[in-house]
Amino acid sequence: MASSLQPLATSLSPQERFQEYLQAKGLRQTEQRKFLIDEVFNQHEHFDADELIERLPRRGSPNYVSSATVYRTLREFVDAGLLKSFQLEGRTVYEHDYGYPQHDHLYCTRCQELFEFTSDELIALRDRVAADQGFRVTGHRLIIQGICQKCSQTRRKKRKQDLV
Amino acid sequence: MASSLQPLATSLSPQERFQEYLQAKGLRQTEQRKFLIDEVFNQHEHFDADELIERLPRRGSPNYVSSATVYRTLREFVDAGLLKSFQLEGRTVYEHDYGYPQHDHLYCTRCQELFEFTSDELIALRDRVAADQGFRVTGHRLIIQGICQKCSQTRRKKRKQDLV
DNA sequence: TTTCCTGCAAAATCTTTGCATGATC
DNA sequence: GATCATGCAAAGATTTTGCAGGAAA
């Protein structure tokens, strides 16, 4: 819901791409890995390890995956280029990377939602700044904090009511 | 060493400014707070709680400050507007805010050093993006990752030697 | 059948908190 | 003297790891 970007055309699904990664590394295709990649690419929202674990089957249910395996697998997804991760208020937040354009974020500090945007201008600016300092760029992370439109409106309404 | 920015002119020292903050909030001026503010503003490098604790006197020595107090005091410094904090690879990194211009960072993933830069253009871009989405901006954080000039050179030399 | 993977529990980090004692206003 | 701050230890929160049993190739 917070996304306004279009997916990129990809020749392989995330599942297929992960298979290739596993084969290239001599790793195995397990039930847990298959299940997790489906879960993770089933939706596009940002999430952290805990949120993912919360919506997975509980211990004892079919398809249960232990937390340790979730953490291990999320790291593999990042290594495989399927997910990106970044830090936000102490949590490690994951988002789709494969099949999704490079982008940055607006973060609403009231509702905690992340909104995406792209800016070629930002990339140009970044490269110029880096070149100035003799830096070889490998990436960047920009998060703009503030209050989103919806939250601003909510607050405004509440204030009017308070005055009544 | 990683800084190329000039301090701003300030009418109060960080110490004085913190005194005002404490008085305004009805808090107390303790030995620990005085000692810590001197330690923290004694140098300009970025640091995390652990690095600060490491260079403070050990338990039993004069001026010993417990870790709990260090954590509590760092939060007060941030509240007081003396320090800013941000997340970098899981750590909470602190830097001087009071008396120092708004800036962003280049981060060398090889030597882990942070370099600072300012860009009015970035601010303009940020405000434009936010306005587009109806966001009310309160701040931002940009970190450009890459390899710094020195590390690039080191690596290049090593490669030549490897060929000999 | 060899190697890798998983689940479990324990450990490792980093940070916060409850509480009794002690310092500051 | 009243209140706030500190130190200590314990608890939280999050993530990693050692290990034994189990699964994939």
* Residues B62-100: tens digit of each pLDDT: 999 999 999 999 999 999 999 999 999 888 999 999 999
Chain D: bases < 7 Å from a protein Cβ: 4-10, 14-18, 23-25
Same domain, A86 and A140: no
Q: How high is the pLDDT of residue B133?
A: 95
Our CA-based measurement puts residue B153 at a distance from the nearest CA of chain A, in whole angstroms, of 10
Q: Is B145 on the interface with A (CB under 8 A)?
A: yes
- The pLDDT > 90 percentage for chain B reads 84
pTM for the structure as a whole: 0.90
| pLDDT at res. B122 | 98
* Mean pLDDT across A117-139: 97
Q: Which residues make beta-bridge pairs with B95?
A: B84
CA distances for A106 relative to A96, A158, B53, angstroms: 16, 24, 34
Q: B156 falls in which pLDDT band (50, 70, 90)?
A: low
Phi and psi based region of residue A89 (left: phi greater than 0; alpha: psi -120 to 50; beta: remaining)? left
What's the confidence (pLDDT) of residue B162?
47
Whether B164 is covered by a domain: the verdict is no
CA B90 to chain centre: 15
Tokens standing for residue B157: 């030399």
Per-residue pLDDT tens digits for A2-45:
556 888 888 899 999 999 999 999 999 999 999 999 999 999 99
pLDDT of residue A144 exceeding 80 = yes
Average pLDDT over residues A91-111: 95
B chain contacts of residue A142, beta-carbon cutoff 8 Å: 126, 140-142
Domain around B56: 12-97
Is the pLDDT at B19 greater than 70? The verdict is yes
Number of folded domains that form chain B: 2
Three-point CA angle B159, B161, B164, nearest 5°: 115
d(CA A80, CA A18): 7
Q: Cα separations (Å) of B150 from A75, A96, B160? A: 30, 33, 16
CA–C1' A22–D7 (A): 51
The CATH number of the domain holding residue B140 is 3.30.1490.190
Instruction: Identify whether B148 is part of a domain.
Output: yes
Q: Which residues of A touch B117 (CB under 8 A)?
A: 129, 132-133
> Are residues A131 and A72 located together in one domain of the fold?
no
Burial class, B3, CB count within 10 angstroms (exposed 0-12 / middle 13-18 / buried 19+): middle
Whether any strand D atom is under 7 angstroms from the Cβ of B73: the reply reads: yes
